[in-house]
Amino acid sequence: MLESQVLQQAQSLLYQQAMVSMQGEWVGAIAAIPRRQTSKAQKAEHEGALNYGEIFIRDNVPVMTYLLLQNKTPVVKNFLTTCLHLQSHSHQTRGIFPTSFVEHDGELVADYGQRAIGRVVSIDATLWWVILANAYVNHSQDHDWAAQPQVQSGIQKFLDLILRPGFRESPTLYVPDGAFMIDRPLDVWGAPLEIQVLLYGALRSAANLLRHSPSPRPHTPHACIRYARNLRRHLLKHYWVTSRTVQVLRRRPTEQYGDGIQNEFNIQTETIPHWLQDWMGDRGGYLIGNIRTGRPDFRFFTLGNCLGAIFDVMSRNQQYALFRLIMRNQQHLVAQMPLRICHPPLDDVEWRKKTGYDRKNLPWCYHNGGHWACLTWFLVIAMQRQQPLMPEDLKYQVRSFLKECYELMLRQLPQQQWAEYHDGPTAYWIGQQARTYQTWTIVGFLLTHHFLHEDPKESHILDL
Ligand code: GLC
């Protein structure tokens, strides 16, 4: 297939099959486009046994970003307003946004986790809504929308969830296992990176949005910024690692008490894995997956790191170190399909204990080391927005790296029916339980093409 035909196919799948209308207006896109049902299992799935026919907030982040770039701003506004109507009013969950929603007999039915597999809650949806709302207002300059009382009150309700007293002093948001894109147990409870970086983005976005109202109450932009600053300091201090910082970590004392100590989380040297040495080389750096008392998680999580760059949690030099690390480990993180969601996978006894024998998350599969093409555009914008100031050698390397990523997607995705994910270690196989015609795979490709070949300047679209 020619490149132009692939692009055309992707666009027509998005507009003609993925987008859902209600009362004549688009309200969002379903997660995967259903195929003709040939087997009983497929029929059951289409009839609602699984939820890929629902509109997920997180899956619509790339969709809405793409629509902004196509200047279809009213659709994005309608999506944001629809989600806002679904913000929870119930006593225990007031202020949260649903993971997904679906139309039933003209009514929208939302899932806040009460219908989800394993009853997991999704915390990222709420954070993403605020970030997307800010991107919409920045792009469209629709300040009137932001100033509306219901929008302002939605943001205040979100801030009620964050800026409230709690049992801990730490600025991180403490969450249960599987509270974001990785929505099954994978030992990602506590303070997983993706949530913390999204929280940073959401607080900075909320501060911008609150400025559109004359006197925001009770939470002020200033309070959001102060919190975000603390959080950034915390992430850079405890999550950022390079070969140099690891050597300091390895020689810290343990069992310390009180103020002014070096090892606040009482981490033993043995928790620092050996694969790190070769993985980081002497010029790489990244934000580790999680910090918890005694149990840091050194796994590399791709989305949390890309967002850490896009939201400038990392300094410019740290971003360069991240890009060098990713390219150094291209064989792991890209292989035959960009990008691996996290590295390395949990295996053996760790897989058994920490996933609860989850067969969907076998080592190298799905969230546990699988590859997701829908993540590529995040890395593309992270790299593209830094391109102009990059040292020449890095710029050259980044350019050819991104070209390779794009060509892998172009060559394989249409043939593989826009599969949801690929299984490792080389990502050559389509995911064992992957949906086909997955919307964020389709749109992720369109976005990758847009930022690489149409308008690299627009890679600032998610800037805070
Ligand atoms: C799976 C993924 C989740 C995604 C959903 C819809 O549950 O783990 O991240 O939002 O499918 O595509």
**Does the pLDDT value for residue 38 go beyond 80?**
no
**59 in contact with ligand 1, CB cutoff 6 A:** yes
Q: Which residues pair with 111 in a beta bridge?
A: 100
pLDDT in tens, 110-165: 999 999 999 999 999 999 999 999 999 999 999 999 999 999 999 999 999 999 99
Q: Is the CB of 183 under 6 A from ligand 1?
A: yes
Mutational test site, ligand 1, from 45, 50, 57, 58, max ligand atoms within 8 Å of CB:
58
Torsional class of 348: left (φ above 0), alpha (ψ -120 to 50), beta (otherwise): left
Reported as a pLDDT band with limits 50, 70 and 90, residue 41 is: low
Residue 265: which of 280, 250, 254 has the closest Cα?
Answer: 254
Query: In 139-280, which ranges are E strands?
Result: 240-242
Kindly give the residue spans of alpha helices, DSSP state H, lying in 70-165: 73-85, 124-140, 143-147, 149-162
pLDDT band at 323 (very low <50, low <70, confident <90, very high): very high
pLDDT tens for 275-315 read: 999 999 999 999 999 999 999 999 999 999 999 999 999 99
Give the mean pLDDT of the chain. Answer: 96
For residue 221, say if its preceding peptide bond is cis, omega within 30 degrees of 0. no
**Of 188, 205, 78, whose CA–CA distance to 138 is shortest?**
205
268 in Cβ contact with 313 (< 8 Å): no
Rounded distance between C-alpha atoms, residue 257 and residue 259, angstroms: 7
Give dist(CA 206, CA 224) in Å, integer. 7
Q: What is the number of helices (H) and of strands (E) in the chain?
A: 18, 11
Atom of ligand 1 nearest to the CA of 440: 12
Q: Report if pTM > 0.95.
A: yes
CB 288 within 8 A of CB 296: yes
User: At 303, which amino acid appears?
Assistant: L
pLDDT, tens digit, 9 for 90 and up, residues 368-423: 999 999 999 999 999 999 999 999 999 999 999 999 999 999 999 999 999 999 99
> What letter represents residue 318's amino acid?
Q
Q: Which atom of ligand 1 is nearest to the CA of 439?
A: 12
Q: Is 58 in the pocket of ligand 1 (CB under 6 A)?
A: yes
- What size, in residues, is the chain? 464
Tell me the CA–centroid distance for residue 181 and ligand 1, in Å. Answer: 6
What confidence category does residue 222 fall into, taking pLDDT thresholds of 50, 70 and 90? Answer: very high
- Rounded to whole angstroms, the Cα distance separating 432 from 359 reads 10
The C-alpha atoms of residue 164 and residue 392 are separated, in whole angstroms, by 47
pLDDT reading at 27 higher than 60: yes
Adjacent-strand bridge partners of 21: 26
Distance from the alpha carbon of residue 99 to the mean position of ligand 1, in angstroms: 9
Q: How does strand 429-430 pair with strand 342-343?
A: unpaired
The pick from 50, 59, 99, 101 for probing ligand 1's pocket by mutation, whose C-beta has the most ligand atoms within 8 angstroms, reads 59
Nearest CA to ligand 1 atom 4: 181
Rg of the chain on CA atoms, in Å: 21
DSSP sequence for 275-336: HHHHHHTTT-EEE-SB--TT--B--EEHHHHHHHHHTTSS-HHHHHHHHHHHHHTHHHHTTT
**Position 43 pLDDT exceeds 60:** no
Reported as half-sphere exposure (CB side, CA atoms, 13 A), residue 290 has a value of: 22
| Rounded Cα distance, 264 and 258, in Å | 9
Q: Is the CB of 227 under 6 A from ligand 1?
A: no
